[in-house]
Amino acid sequence: MPFKVFITGDFDHMSEVAAGLVIDSINDALERKGAFTLGLATGNSPTGLYKHLAKAANSGAYDSGKIASFNLDEYIGLPGKNAQQRALHSESYSFFMIQELFGLLNRKFREVHVPWGTLIDQERLVAELESHPGDWEEQGTDRGKAVVIKANARSPYLKWIREEILDAYERKIEKDGGIDLHVIGVGGRGHVAFHESGIPFAGNRMLLVKLDDNTVANAVADGHFPSLDQCPRYAVSMGAELVYRAKTVLLLANGPRKAAPVAESLLGDTTDQVPISYGKRYARQGGWMIYVLDRAAAATVLEKADAIRKQGIEIEDLGDRGATQLVKDLKFFRNPATGQME
């Protein structure tokens, strides 16, 4: 099972190691096929990685002009009178990516994509859901719910969301040949993007998500939004089934809050209660699953290392080894037919 866990010293070391792996993968793909598609996440965990990627591109370590990117998720309901204002809101994930990566590049990516949640008017969405209860159903066992719009929805607005916001994003990824490497983080309960705990895997490749009250309250408490009224209540997100279609998935986790869900995803069975546990199914099916953890996020993994290794998952404590030496030592070779590391 191609599943590897790297343990690093701290956030900076984690970011450096992850950047080395991503740049190695980019250059290998550019040499083989002249293009690369990169999946991206928001949140604190990848910010150091993004700075390394921008610096490397600007120094000529790889050609950023041959890269297309797809982000995991975006809010619905950001403050703003139109899609442009919402997309440029300081808490939009579009703005985050400009600030943390896209805007730092001297040579811009060939094409960038963030799910088109800012095109949706939240007030109209709520009104359409209320007036057309037969057009949709909720799925999920916890507070965060997937709002599944039926294919035969009578509401033109809901049908437009399904076809032109959700399905169209998945189609665009497929048209581009799929994602070569997807960077993801992990939520405090083991969720990936807004595929929250308890949302079923099957059939939920692109999600319209109703955020749970705790997610909304925490966003206000953490200072992202001044009040509950101004905090989004919905989001558009890739689901686990789509995320883990990438040829390689690189999960980053830092800090003690991530230690429990990371370990649970490695020790337990694949379950939608811990969405990142999908990585085990993905690896068994031939995908390359890589975790890069700082020492705090790896605390429980280190305690349970023997039990994790018995499941065929490799764990390597890198100490103070840098990314250049790591990539050299790993000697990752990729099958030209699949683009996957062997």
Q: Quote the percentage of the chain above a pLDDT of 70.
A: 93
Assigned token pair, 328: 């050299």
- What's the rounded Cα separation, in Å, for the pair 303 and 48? 27
Report how far apart, in Å, the C-alpha atoms of 91 and of each of 85, 193, 213, 222, 326 are: 11, 15, 18, 12, 35
Alpha carbon distance, N-terminus to C-terminus of the chain: 11
Assigned token pair, 85: 């204002």
In the predicted structure, residue 212 carries a pLDDT above the cut 90: no
Assigned token pair, 167: 């399905």
DSSP state for residue 140 in the 8-state scheme: -
Domain range summary for the chain, segments of one domain joined by +: 3-330
Specify whether the CB–CB gap between 231 and 216 falls below 8 A. yes
The reported pLDDT for the residue numbered 337 is: 42
The reported pLDDT for the residue numbered 218 is: 77
The reported pLDDT for the residue numbered 291 is: 98
Mean pLDDT of 203-229: 87
Q: Output phi, psi for 37, to 5 deg.
A: -115, 125
- What's the rounded Cα separation, in Å, for the pair 95 and 326? 33
What are 41-60's pLDDT values in tens digits? 999 999 999 999 999 999 99
pLDDT band at 330 (very low <50, low <70, confident <90, very high): low
DSSP state for residue 115 in the 8-state scheme: -
- Please state, as a whole number, how many other Cβ atoms lie within 10 Å of the Cβ of residue 267: 17
What are 280-325's pLDDT values in tens digits? 999 999 999 999 999 999 999 999 999 999 999 999 999 877 666 6
Q: In the block, which residue shows the tokens 């890589």? A: 290
The reported pLDDT for the residue numbered 333 is: 40
> Which CATH code for domain 3-330?
3.40.50.1360
Cβ within 8 Å of residue 334, ≥6 positions away: 28, 32, 340, 341, 342
- Please state, as a whole number, how many other Cβ atoms lie within 10 Å of the Cβ of residue 197: 21
* Rg of the chain (C-alpha set): 20
Assigned token pair, 69: 């990117």
**What amino acid is encoded at 267 in this protein?**
L
Assigned token pair, 256: 């003690």
Q: Is the pTM of this model over 0.75?
A: yes
What are 106-150's pLDDT values in tens digits? 999 999 999 999 999 999 999 999 999 999 999 999 889 999 999
Cβ within 8 Å of residue 250, ≥6 positions away: 18, 21, 22, 181, 182, 183, 184, 290, 292
Q: Quote the percentage of the chain above a pLDDT of 90.
A: 85
The reported pLDDT for the residue numbered 13 is: 96
Sign of CA dihedral 189, 194, 198, 204: negative
Q: Which of 261, 263, 187 is nearest to 219 (CA)?
A: 187
